[in-house]
Amino acid sequence: MTRNLRGIKLWGLGICLFSQLAGAAEKEAQNSIGIAYEAGDVDVAQGELLDELNDESTGQFSLFYERYVSEYFGLEFIALNGDTNDFSIIIDDIFTDSALEYNSFGLGVRTEVPISRRFIAYAKTGLQRYQYKLLDDNELILEEDGFSYYASVGIEYRFSAMSLLINYRHLDMGDNIVTDTLGCGIAYRF
């Protein structure tokens, strides 16, 4: 008899916890995952090895996961991969044989401000681990990795669980390379 009562109590507790969690999930999504594509300019420091990258443009994909800890504040994990061969907006890019390949993994914070019921303005910043390779005629000229920061601002349009976003991202890769990109993406909140 006590065994059955213990089982009933555990089932009742499980049902109560599940209903509380389901109710919380209906009120506000706690997680978001998304993907974005961004294109923009590469700014480089002065130096003999880096001179050919001065007028380069870049394209980059980013994949992110966000965990909201309050209504307007969250934590972000981001993985980013970019290449100057992926996107050419400047005619000089066609005639140069130098290429920059890079990736980074970051951990940061996100804050947002509602503009209307569906439009959200947001800002993100964080610490990243980056790595890049500079190639000339497919030969490795320079390889560097390290820690630095990233920052992003944007506007998000939310409908149901899906969101469309437009953003500007500043990616600092040490003393030599900085990218400034504009992009768009899609996110799913759950």
pLDDT tens per residue across span 66-76: 999 998 899 99
Distance of alpha carbon 132 from alpha carbon 45, whole angstroms: 14
Across 5-9, 33-37, 110-114, least confident range: 5-9
DSSP 7: H
With pLDDT > 90 as the criterion, what percentage of the chain qualifies? 54
Q: Which two tokens mark 186?
A: 């899609």
Predicted pLDDT of residue 25? 43
Closest listed residue to residue 163, CA positions, set 136, 187, 143: 187
Which pLDDT does position 109 carry in this prediction?
A: 96
Please state the φ and ψ torsions of residue 117, each to the nearest 5 degrees: -60, -35
Contact criterion met (CB below 8 Å) for 185 and 167: yes
Per the listing, tokens 């900085």 go with 178
pLDDT at 19: 46
Q: Is a pLDDT exceeding 80 seen at residue 61? A: yes
pLDDT tens profile 136-183: 777 888 889 999 999 999 999 998 889 999 999 999 998 888 899 999
Provide the mean pLDDT of the chain: 81
pLDDT at 78 over 80: yes
Selection from 13-17, 86-90, 92-96, 142-146 with the highest mean pLDDT = 142-146
pLDDT of 73 reads: 93
Coil/strand/helix, residue 27: helix
With 0.85 as the threshold, say if the pTM is over it: no
